[in-house]
Structure 1
Amino acid sequence: MRRLKGKTMSDIKWAFISTAMASLVHFILRTIIGRELGSDGLGVYTLAFTIYLLGMQFAAFGIGSALTKYVAEFLEDRLTIDKYISSGLTSSIITGTAMGLVLFLLAPHLANSIFHTPEMEGMIKLISICFPFIAIQKAVLGTLNGFRKMRRLAFLNIVQNVSVVLISAVLVLSFDMSVMGAIIGLVVPTMIVGLLSPILIRNHIAFASLWNGPALRATTVFGFYIVLGNSIGFLNTQMDNLFIGYYLDPSEVGIYAVAVLLAQTMTLIPTAIQYVTAPMTATLYGKGDVKGVRRLFFSTLKKSLIMSAVSASILAVASPYIITLVFTDVYSTSYVPLLILLVGYAISASYGAVGATLASIGMVKVSFRIHAMCALFNILLNIMLIPILGIVGAALSTAGTMIANFIITVSIVKNYLSRGSKNECKSDSAGP
């Protein structure tokens, strides 16, 4: 038992280091862009980065999450695991390439018709090139997560994120390449790290299984619902940026981005914990231990909710000084939206610690339906509130959606996990 707890704490530590480093380097990068290029430059970069993140959801096609589930579930069956991993890499290359091509073709429309910023066209096309490499890396990360090899996972994330901030900072500050320099600094490390990442799982790549029909079908079907659910869930947190870019201007996007950047620090610890709870849940469920899944879910959620509430309170007090010190007085108007976002993130981030529970027990369709319903609610709120209240309306829309998503999801998970066995849970979630 002590060894198990020690392993769990070690995994959480490395997952936290990984997520904290990612947040830190992007915080540094956005601080540099915000100070050097102003709110307009930060706004353009935020819009481009939002497209990068959204495309990432589709490029990976949920293959990483599928591999986490199947690797953890069949942990003692090396042959089956190797089939899933090898076929998952094949799927990721196909989906990543397809998504990159779609984004490349849509770049003129997105830049000129949606965001009314022609300079973004070249940035979006550049971003589209790295999608196959993103998909490969996501498959590798999902595999490492399933094996709970958190040191390797952290190493991969740290190398990429540190490379991104260093190259971007040099191109922006030393070569005066403005926002395009930051985009190049984002794309180049992503491509290199994605290309090299399979080295970390080379012992599990079986060339004979690169096109294994059943494994390809399983990872693709599972990934289909994951990508739909994750993409809609992502939109629920990024919809505000997109609508601000449509209704207002890049400067407002830049100011709002500061509020979002600070609020998102709430997700660091819960995200790190989820790297551990996801494979643990899949393993418990694979053994038919639904009661164990229930204990893990509610115990983790309760502790995470307490931590999130404390973190939100501290941020609410400290943020005015942080905004002025780090981003200058120009961004002071981001404080009111930040306070609103903190309410939503305090509740939503706590669920992040167990956010992969539905996927880990195979209920990806349920997760997708919840995200879809909340996305419609979010869209309606943004359309109604942003034209009237500006970035405050965007914050209200996002926070309200986060709270609704939390209530609905926890209620449904509680209902499913109250079933006595794995078979009852499966039968209750059957159907399209």
Structure 2
Amino acid sequence: MYFKKIYSRIISVGEVQRQSIALLFGQISYTFLGFLSTMYFAHTLGSSVLGAYFLFLAYYGIINMISDGGFGGAATKRISEGEQQNEYFTAFFLLRLSVVIVVIFSLLVFREYFVDLNEAGLFNWLFLALIISLIYGSLINGIAGTGKMGIYAAGTFVSNTSKFIIQIIAVFLGYGVAGLVGGFIAGFFIASIIEFKFFELHFAKCEWSHVKNLLTFSFWLFLTSSGVVLYSHIDTIMIGYYMSNSDVGIYKVVFQFSTLAIVPTTAIRAALWPKISWWNKNNKIDLIEKSLSKAFTYSLMVSLPIFAGGIIIGKQLLYYFYGSDFKSGYLVLIILLFVQTINVFQFFITMYISALDRQKDSFKVTAIGASANIIVNLALIPIIGIEGAAIATLITMGLNTILAKKVLDSMITIKLNYDNTINIFKASAIMALLIGLYRYFIPISNIWMAVIPVLLGGAIYGILLLRYDRIICEELRGIFEQIRIPWPSWL
């Protein structure tokens, strides 16, 4: 009875807000578990073993992108439009299955070229990962397409939680990098079992027109996602080529740490995609523009204070959270935190372009950014190492954002709430100043002393922002009151 009341309260919140909260909860949980597990792996396995695992993830990301072919995003788009959903799902599954078979065969033929994976004993794991991702991807795209973002969030949460638990157990038992990879794959499998119970689509006779519609949309989506995936993983592969697995481990751990700044961005983005698609189909441009403005605001609420705090105590956090090897990544951390702040805009702008059915334009922007990223990485990594990879990401992320904004400007009016943004800047700056004073008078000498300024800074920032910005305060108060969670009277 008690849980039914809680559920009814949550349901009373607006749909996008409710789905964003569900996804945000899952994303926070995933980030927190990833943060703790990576700390354990870093101290237990060291940067070199972690580097081998991150290289596997990079290769898997690129190969899985090829096997997906953009069909997943195309299926989500067509299914979200509400017409002939089962037929589009069937066409998607058959297309994806065909490509996976071809990819697996190609991997067997060119196996000798994957030197890093063969030496680490991880090549055969790629086959299992691709098969499980076929099942998981089919289910998750179908669920997202039907607008069940709560189930989508739950599936993602189960996948990530089970992955971390299995990885921790496997590493504890001494399985090393194989345990990390095995846990990664097991997470997809477990989530697939659970999601299947809530999956309502079924196979139906599809025609060439369904396949053609998916191919038409997926062509540009595939090219766009190829640029995004290359953008995400090419620096890892290049660091592995020019430098050591240890350098890969340091860079990727720091990069993962920096993604704390875009936790709400990822959650809001996932919740908005189906709604934007539907709004666009029904010509509700005003709702699209309002949602983008709010998405910017609520994402910057987190990214800016984390960037400010990282500058003040980032080096100490890396040392005590991950170990002495990772302290050398402080400069990389500062650069990447700035990247993530820019990424708030890039994430949403490119997503809106795609959801508004302008895949060709999205591809052009991403292709330029990805090409530039490869060139700048090739120029900087051999000279200045992992700092070069971070600078390359910063330069090309900025370029990508500028080009994408020009495209979206021609479609809708992009509005940034400057009053909200200024208040976020003010609260972040004061918080950083106070934490800097704390660090000056109280040395950080262990992990617990490192946690205190983080918690203190979060509390200071939250109170200042709610005091400065009454609009944000009232919106949050409204959500809390709808689900009947007590709101401090002094706010």
**Equivalent residues in 2 for 1:14-413 (5 A)?**
14-74=22-82, 77=83, 80-110=84-114, 112=115, 115=116, 118-120=118-120, 122-174=121-173, 176-194=174-192, 197-201=195-199, 203-205=200-202, 207-209=203-205, 211-305=206-300, 307-353=302-348, 355-413=350-408
Quote the Cα distance in structure 1 between the aligned partners of 2:346 and 2:301.
11
Residue deviations 1:369-397 (CA, integer Å, cap 9, x gap):
11111111111111111111111111100
- The separation in 2 between residues aligned to 1:227 and 1:408, in whole angstroms, is 19
Q: How far 1:253 sits from its partner (Å)?
A: 0.8
Alignment CA distance shift 1:60-1:182 (3 Å): same
Structure 1 residues 303 and 184, CA, compared in 2 at 3 Å: closer, same or farther? closer
Shift in Å, 1:223: 2.1
Residue 118 of structure 1, CA deviation:
4.2
Cα gap change, 1:366 to 1:104, in 2 (>3 Å): farther
CA distance in 1, matches of 2:311, 2:107: 38
Change in Cα spacing, 1:219 to 1:21, as seen in structure 2 (3 Å) is farther
Does the aligned pair in 2 maintain the 1:28–1:165 contact within 8 Å?
Answer: no
Contact 2:265/2:295 (CA < 8 Å) preserved in 1? no
SS in 1 for 2:14: helix
Gaps of 5+ in 1: 420-432
Distance, in Å, in 1 between the alignment partners of 2:216 and 2:323 is 48
Equivalent residue letter for 1:407: I
AA aligned opposite 1:61 = G
Deviation string, structure 1 residues 96-138 (Cα, Å, up to 9, x no partner): 333344344444312x2xx4x6423x31321232213313322
Match of 2:129, as an amino acid?
Answer: C
Residues 148 and 312 of structure 1, relative CA distance in 2, 3 Å threshold: farther
In structure 1, how many angstroms separate the alpha carbons of the residues matched to 2:162 and 2:378? 38
> Could you tell which deviates more after superposition, 383-392 or 176-185?
176-185
Paired residues of 1:130 and 1:191 also in contact (CA < 8 A): no
Which stretch has the larger CA shift, 246-255 or 186-195?
186-195
Three-state SS of the structure 1 residue aligned to 2:283 is coil
How much is the aligned-residue C-alpha RMSD, in angstroms? 2.5
Taking structure 1 as reference, are residues 63 and 28 closer, same or farther at Cα in structure 2, changes over 3 Å only?
farther
Q: CA deviation at 1:224?
A: 2.9
Distance 2:89 2:16 in 1: 24
Partner SS state of residue 356, structure 1: helix
Contact 1:136 1:197 in 2 (8 A): no
Partner deviation per Cα, 1:338-360 (whole Å, 9 max, x = no partner): 11111111111343245421221
Q: Distance in 2 between matches of 1:104 and 1:30?
A: 32
Deviations 1:216-241 (CA, angstroms, capped at 9, x unpaired) = 22223322322221121122132221
Cα gap change, 1:340 to 1:191, in 2 (>3 Å):
same
Describe the superposition over 1:396-424 as per-residue Cα deviations: whole angstroms up to 9, x where unpaired: 001111111111111211122369xxxxx
Cα displacement (A) at 1:247: 0.6
Rg bigger for which structure? Answer: 2
**AA at the equivalent of 1:213:** W
Q: Deviations over 1:250-303 (max 9, x none)?
A: 111111122111112222110100112211111111012334433433443354
Q: What is the TM-score of this pair, normalised by structure 2?
A: 0.76
CA distance in 2, matches of 1:10, 1:97: 39
Question: What secondary structure does 1:288 align onto?
Answer: coil
CA distance in 2, matches of 1:398, 1:337: 11
SS at match of 1:204: coil
8 Å Cα contact 2:319-2:327 kept in structure 1: yes
> Which amino acid in 2 is paired with 1:87?
A
Identity of aligned residues (%): 21
1:9-39 Cα shifts (integer Å, max 9, x gaps): 1100111123233333333333332211211
Deviation of 1:4 (Å): 8.5
**SS of equivalent to 1:108:** helix
Q: How far is 1:308 from its partner? A: 2.4
TM-score, normalised to structure 1, is 0.86
Distance 2:301 2:187 in 1: 37
- Going from structure 1 to structure 2, the CA distance change for 1:345 and 1:383 (only over 3 Å counts) comes to same
Deviation at 1:44, TM superposition (A): 0.8
Q: Distance in 1 between matches of 2:32 and 2:104?
A: 27
Whether the 8 Å CA contact 1:272–1:353 is kept in 2: the answer is: no
Relative distance call for 1:339 and 1:385 in structure 2 (3 A) is same
SS at match of 1:88: helix
Looking at structure 1, the residues matched to 106 and 186 of structure 2 have their Cα atoms a distance apart, in angstroms, of: 20
Distance 2:123 2:36 in 1: 22
Could you tell which deviates more after superposition, 162-171 or 287-296? 287-296
1:104 and 1:125 in contact (8 A); partners too: no
Equivalent-residue separation in structure 1 for 2:328 and 2:340 (angstroms): 19
Counterpart position of 2:474: none
CA distance in 2, matches of 1:191, 1:14: 22
Deviations 1:131-164 (A, max 9, x none): 1331332232222223331221122112222221
